[in-house]
A and B are shown apart, each in its own frame.
Chain A
């Protein structure tokens, strides 16, 4: 599989994201699958951040450690990232009089890396353009170096800034023309062998980075972050209220869904703290709408059997940890955090597809079982850019479980039906405040069937067993983990419990990089497979047991220190996976890194 990568680096606020996003959109429109990965620090301006695009005409969902083109807004990128440029790659920078150290220069010469200095400030001054237009100028040079046409970029700029008026567009177009012209008149003393320098001719294709042949299938795809995908998924699921407290990496979801409120009519509340957000969500769900909250921690409402949906966006801890980086360290928190015991369902999204598809599912489970559902994501999913097929709008159905709204049925209800311990699977009828029916108390104390406080031993046992019966029912309903195989470069679901040379077991955002890795995995022969966990609790281990018994080698891959999925599997009576590849430096796995660790 041919893939190339492009990394833009600079201080936060310099335009790293703008250039990254513009290139991503342009490339996808031409017909590429683009995967965007952001690294940044917990500050507003300054620091060192990057936006990397991995580009292919085939499906990819991972990042490489080395890149084909490095764009540096300042010298930090030249110092820190130059060593990441691949053989024959290009560095585009804007630092006047820059000289690499001898060692660096030798390293770059050995690799045949070419360096282009773009005097952005001079060019902008000449054009009398505002500094902000530097982003378009840089993008146009990148675009030219990718061997693409100026018109493609102009079209994109027209679309993005068209509403700002003709003058703005004119200036943007000038910058694009200047960017393309710059490469043609480049000083021959730079290490880029332009060939055409000074001759007024066109940039030669051999000086460009060769993109693979585009594939038109990607053109109608969405370029979407996990947070945006999750926002759309919540809207799709009929969620009418969202409460949150800003905290990376759950805040992009809050921002997106808040930005959509005038279109969706949703009630959005930026709460004073996470507990407020959780309480407001619970109150709204209790009343009968669909509401959700997202955070990086969270509080769970116990015992009242109020359905609730929590989005738990992971980042490295403990304490404030690495606020703007990624991790999978909260699995035990999601499964275990509770005062006493109650039924719950924990699921984990893997990508922009899951972010959308699992939202209606989360609400359906919450309402069907009248219990909290925790949807786990992480910074990598929340902020990575996915190339995503348009969503199927017909697949999901609203299932509100035993919610009774029919006036005739409401009349028949008794208060004691609400928490009836004999209800099948522990799921008793639910009806909403305001409904013309017998009333009940959603009681936080241990209660009898109508919600009256009842501390007798007999009642305590009956009610605990009623609630916990739901776990069995959820377990029955949720699917086993899915087995993925790579065949002829394509990923396919494998229904059979086949014999494998290598079985990789993981969850969450690792899915994309693992599948990309298996595509490149030659050493183990073709018999590799990836078992992906979406439903984390209740935990199912039957399929894993069967596959592991047949597999020559099983490896657990996780972004945490303890191998938490492995622990949960064992907690649920599953086998111990002794070979583990664990990473806990705040970065996701990179495709070449994982390939070498698996080989």
Chain B
């Protein structure tokens, strides 16, 4: 796989370089995702001070001090509402939220539902490695049923949540999939997601060499393919859903679905229409005498 860089990208990418050493396991998918995030921001000409990166808790959350940019590393499962609040306060700054499958499909699944439903203008990157890695390999709701894991030595008894079917049932406006071994693909998908009008859901299938022995780097390498390169157009939700669910032989990656005709949550806020300033710029003492008179 070749990763063509234009002459300026490497220099721009180095602006995101952070001196802290990475602490992930050898072969962890986070290395690839970390690189792709830096590269996509660089190719979009977004400098470190021009973005807010919000991290959930988990192995991916350890990216928070391995990259420059304004970052927030918050509470487990709660990254989406934090990122949404930040974005609504200042829509001029791109906001990207990162969360694992453990956080996003168990503890914080409600936030994912309402994030998609609200169509907040943010990007959400799912680090999907099929388990709770940082807490040493427990089953998540996306782990394969029957798979023996840390707290389920006899195999996970619950059935696996079909994440893509679930996400499509929420009528998303942007769904993409990539995998952690393909930096060029992740870059392309992330750039499209950051440019999306509303809530962009990016599912990144991520290798976890330590605990995930069922969806390995090799397996993903073999099965994942660039569906857009094969001429697929991401404009039909029914087709996209079927494509996303059909992972038996090949796994379709790329932008699977996108519609730009629906306004984002912010655009739907009546009081913010024709409003040129952001809430961050509006902080001042407001004279309320006029509204107080309604009570006289």
Contact of A439 among B70, B280, B285, B295 (CB under 8 A): B70
Query: In the complex, A271 Cα to B295 Cα: how many Å?
Result: 28
Q: Is B275 an interface residue (CB 8 A)?
A: yes
Instruction: Give the number of residues in A that approach B within 8 Å (Cβ atoms).
Output: 74
CB distance from A362 to the nearest CB of B (A): 14
The answer to whether B64 touches A441 (Cβ under 8 A) is yes
Q: Is B272 an interface residue (CB 8 A)?
A: yes
CB distance from B37 to the nearest CB of A (A): 14
CB distance from B202 to the nearest CB of A (A): 20
The answer to whether A275 touches B78 (Cβ under 8 A) is yes
The answer to whether A441 touches B65 (Cβ under 8 A) is yes
Q: Is A221 an interface residue (CB 8 A)?
A: yes
Which of A54-62, A86-94, A142-150, A280-288 contacts its partner? A280-288
Q: Which of B63-85 contact A (CB under 8 A)?
A: 64-65, 68-75, 78, 81-85
Query: In the complex, A552 Cα to B227 Cα: how many Å?
Result: 85
| A-chain residues with CB within 8 Å of residue B50 when the two chains form the complex | 434
Name the residue in A263, A281, A397, A439 with the highest tally of chain B Cβ atoms < 10 Å from its Cβ: A439
The answer to whether B62 touches A453 (Cβ under 8 A) is yes
Q: Which of A275-308 contact B (CB under 8 A)?
A: 275-277, 279-291, 301-302, 304
The answer to whether A283 touches B280 (Cβ under 8 A) is no
Contact of B285 among A267, A286, A398 (CB under 8 A): A398
Instruction: Select from chain B the residue with minimum beta-carbon distance to A435.
Output: B49
Contact of B280 among A219, A288, A447 (CB under 8 A): A288
The answer to whether B296 touches A220 (Cβ under 8 A) is yes
| A-chain residues with CB within 8 Å of residue B279 when the two chains form the complex | 240-241, 266-267, 284, 289, 291
CB distance from A232 to the nearest CB of B (A): 5
Query: In the complex, A391 Cα to B285 Cα: how many Å?
Result: 13
Q: Is B59 an interface residue (CB 8 A)?
A: no
CB distance from A270 to the nearest CB of B (A): 11
Q: Which of B43-65 contact A (CB under 8 A)?
A: 48-52, 54, 57, 62, 64-65
The answer to whether A241 touches B88 (Cβ under 8 A) is yes
CB distance from A117 to the nearest CB of B (A): 35
Query: In the complex, A289 Cα to B90 Cα: how many Å?
Result: 8
Chain B, 269-296, contact with A by CB distance < 8 Å: what is the 0/1 string? 1111001001110111111110110011
| A-chain residues with CB within 8 Å of residue B49 when the two chains form the complex | 433-439
CB distance from B73 to the nearest CB of A (A): 5
Q: Is B20 an interface residue (CB 8 A)?
A: yes
| A-chain residues with CB within 8 Å of residue B215 when the two chains form the complex | none
Contact of A238 among B75, B86, B270, B285 (CB under 8 A): B285
| A-chain residues with CB within 8 Å of residue B113 when the two chains form the complex | 272
Q: Is A452 an interface residue (CB 8 A)?
A: yes
Contact of B283 among A243, A277, A289 (CB under 8 A): A289
Query: In the complex, A238 Cα to B282 Cα: how many Å?
Result: 7
Known interface pairs A232-B292, A434-B92; A280-B270 also in contact (CB < 8 Å): no
Known interface pairs A222-B296, A232-B292, A240-B283; A444-B71 also in contact (CB < 8 Å): no
| A-chain residues with CB within 8 Å of residue B85 when the two chains form the complex | 241, 243, 269, 279-284, 286-287, 291
Q: Is B111 an interface residue (CB 8 A)?
A: yes
Query: In the complex, A10 Cα to B18 Cα: how many Å?
Result: 68
The answer to whether B285 touches A236 (Cβ under 8 A) is yes
Instruction: Select from chain B the residue with minimum beta-carbon distance to A240.
Output: B279
Q: Is B114 an interface residue (CB 8 A)?
A: yes
Query: In the complex, A451 Cα to B18 Cα: how many Å?
Result: 12
Q: Which of B85-106 contact A (CB under 8 A)?
A: 85-90, 92-93
CB distance from B121 to the nearest CB of A (A): 13
Q: Is B110 an interface residue (CB 8 A)?
A: yes
The answer to whether B73 touches A443 (Cβ under 8 A) is yes
CB distance from A435 to the nearest CB of B (A): 6
Contact of A240 among B110, B282, B291 (CB under 8 A): B282
The answer to whether B288 touches A235 (Cβ under 8 A) is yes
The answer to whether A238 touches B65 (Cβ under 8 A) is no
Q: Is A594 an interface residue (CB 8 A)?
A: no
The answer to whether A232 touches B64 (Cβ under 8 A) is no
Instruction: Select from chain B the residue with minimum beta-carbon distance to A263.
Output: B291
Q: Which of B11-64 contact A (CB under 8 A)?
A: 20, 48-52, 54, 57, 62, 64
| A-chain residues with CB within 8 Å of residue B65 when the two chains form the complex | 441, 443, 447, 451-453
Known interface pairs A398-B283, A434-B92, A440-B71; A260-B84 also in contact (CB < 8 Å): no
Instruction: Select from chain A the residue with minimum beta-carbon distance to B53.
Output: A441
Q: Is A360 an interface residue (CB 8 A)?
A: yes
Chain A, 95-115, contact with B by CB distance < 8 Å: what is the 0/1 string? 000000000000000000000
Known interface pairs A238-B283, A439-B48; A286-B292 also in contact (CB < 8 Å): no
Instruction: Select from chain A the residue with minimum beta-carbon distance to B56.
Output: A444
CB distance from B63 to the nearest CB of A (A): 10
Chain A, 398-440, contact with B by CB distance < 8 Å: what is the 0/1 string? 1010000000000000000000000000000000111111111
The answer to whether A287 touches B86 (Cβ under 8 A) is yes
Q: Is A488 an interface residue (CB 8 A)?
A: no
| A-chain residues with CB within 8 Å of residue B52 when the two chains form the complex | 287, 433-434
CB distance from A231 to the nearest CB of B (A): 9
Query: In the complex, A289 Cα to B65 Cα: how many Å?
Result: 25
Q: List 14 A-B contacts (CB under 8 A).
A: A237-B286, A271-B81, A282-B85, A283-B85, A284-B89, A289-B90, A388-B295, A391-B289, A396-B285, A433-B49, A437-B49, A439-B48, A441-B73, A452-B20
Interface positions of B (Cβ within 8 A of A): 20, 48-52, 54, 57, 62, 64-65, 68-75, 78, 81-90, 92-93, 110-111, 113-114, 269-272, 275, 278-280, 282-289, 291-292, 295-296
| Contacts A243-B85, A284-B279, A452-B20 supplied; 13 other A-B pairs, CB < 8 Å | A222-B296, A237-B286, A279-B74, A279-B81, A283-B83, A287-B90, A288-B90, A289-B280, A360-B285, A433-B52, A441-B65, A442-B73, A453-B62
Interface positions of A (Cβ within 8 A of B): 219-224, 228, 232, 235-238, 240-241, 243, 260-269, 271-273, 275-277, 279-291, 301-302, 304, 360, 388, 390-391, 393, 396-398, 400, 432-445, 447, 451-453
